[in-house]
């Protein structure tokens, strides 16, 4: 894969194995087709920067010809370790991709994670439509999927998870999640190898959230069952298929 020669040796090695998992997810769920215009939701954290770089590397050698547009939603309220607008601009231009910065109204006092995420998602959908994109790629990884599955099971009594691919607005925009098979720990290693400009900033709400508690539960279970995350995903997808066919 000569296309990876611009990366450091460690980043090149990690990218090779990560792209195998990304390619499998894209094939399994028919995420990207020839001619697609894909908006990539880039928050500026490790997950979204990894997704953008991998999708950009991938299009250099796969048969499909697709276009990438990096979309970043700007807000006074940041909830994680994010690169700045200036840093993101440099990254987007170095990647050679089209990009757009969108503005989001700052959350009101007492805003919760759900409402904040809903506002960002709305801004991303509007931007994707305006920019002529038919796909919107999110950087949810295997850990996110497993956590969501347990959250729905514990607190809602439903065996549901994040779907790798789902259509919205009658198929006008399709959300895809190419990192569903990639564990967070592998993304952390890749982000460090790529020297992404990550900053130490913690969500003021998320530290004590339900998701944080479920993350700790999964961490403990994974010590005895390394396959727990993929098993949860498979169980939820089998249940989804069963209920739709019954």
| pLDDT for position 204 | 55
Beta bridge partners of 67: 37
Q: Which domain holds residue 78?
A: 2-245
* pLDDT in the model for residue 33: 97
- Distance, C-alpha 241 to centroid of its chain: 23
Q: With 90 as the cut, is the pLDDT of residue 151 above it? A: yes
The chain-wide mean pLDDT, for the chain, equals 89
Residue 62 zone, left/alpha/beta (φ > 0; ψ -120 to 50; rest): beta
pLDDT recorded at residue 202: 56
pLDDT tens digit string along 59-104?
A: 988 999 999 999 999 876 655 557 889 999 999 999 999 999 998 8
C-alpha to C-alpha distance for 27 and 173, rounded to whole angstroms: 19
**CA angle at 130 for the pair 37 and 76, rounded to the nearest 5°:** 105
Q: How many domains does the chain have?
A: 1
For 98-135, b/e burial (b = at least 16 CB within 10 A) is ebbebebeebeeeeeeeebeebbeebbbebbeebebbb
pLDDT reported for residue 246: 72
**pLDDT of 19 above 50:** yes
pLDDT band at 243 (very low <50, low <70, confident <90, very high): confident
| pLDDT tens, position by position, 189-225 | 999 999 998 775 555 555 558 888 999 999 999 999 9
Helix/strand/coil (H, E, C) string of 167-190? Answer: EEHHHCEEEECCCCCCCHHHHHHH
The mean pLDDT of 2-6, rounded to a whole number, is 50
Residue carrying structure tokens 């299009």: 59
Residue 156 in this model has a pLDDT that exceeds 80: yes
What is the DSSP code string of 123-160? HHHHHHHHTT-SEEE----HHHHHHHHHHIIIII----
CATH code: domain of residue 151: 3.40.50.620
Number of H helices, E strands in the chain: 8, 6
CB 115 within 8 A of CB 26: no
List strands edge to edge, sheet with 165-168: 98-103, 67-74, 37-41, 135-137, 173-176, 165-168
Tell which wins on pLDDT, 5 or 158: 158
| Residue 2, pLDDT above cutoff 50 | no
Bigger pLDDT: 7 or 200? 7
Whether the pLDDT of residue 163 is over 90: the answer is: yes
pLDDT tier at 20, thresholds 50, 70, 90: very high
């Amino acid at each position: 894969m000569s296309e990876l020669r611009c990366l450091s040796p460690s980043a090149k090695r990690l990218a090779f194995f990560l792209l195998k998992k990304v390619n499998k997810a894209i094939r399994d769920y028919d995420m990207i087709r020839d001619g697609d215009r894909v908006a990539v939701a880039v928050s500026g954290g490790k997950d979204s920067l990894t997704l953008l770089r991998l999708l950009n590397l991938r299009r250099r050698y796969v048969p499909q010809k697709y276009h990438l547009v990096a979309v970043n939603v700007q807000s006074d309220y940041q909830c994680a370790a994010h690169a700045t607008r200036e840093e993101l601009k440099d990254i987007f231009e170095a990647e050679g991709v089209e990009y757009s910065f969108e503005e989001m109204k700052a959350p009101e006092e007492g805003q919760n994670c759900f409402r904040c995420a809903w506002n960002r998602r709305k801004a991303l959908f509007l931007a994707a439509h305006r920019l002529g994109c038919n796909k919107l790629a999110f950087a949810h990884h295997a850990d996110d999927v497993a956590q969501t599955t347990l959250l729905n099971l514990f607190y809602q009594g439903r065996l549901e998870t994040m779907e790798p691919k789902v259509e919205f607005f009658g198929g006008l925009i399709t959300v895809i999640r190419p990192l569903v098979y990639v564990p967070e720990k592998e993304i952390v290693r890749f982000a460090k190898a790529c020297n992404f400009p990550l900053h130490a900033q913690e969500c003021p709400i998320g530290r004590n959230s339900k998701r944080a508690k479920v993350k700790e539960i999964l961490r403990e279970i994974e010590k005895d069952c390394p396959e727990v995350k993929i098993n949860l995903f498979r169980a939820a997808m089998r249940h989804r298929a069963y209920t739709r066919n019954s």
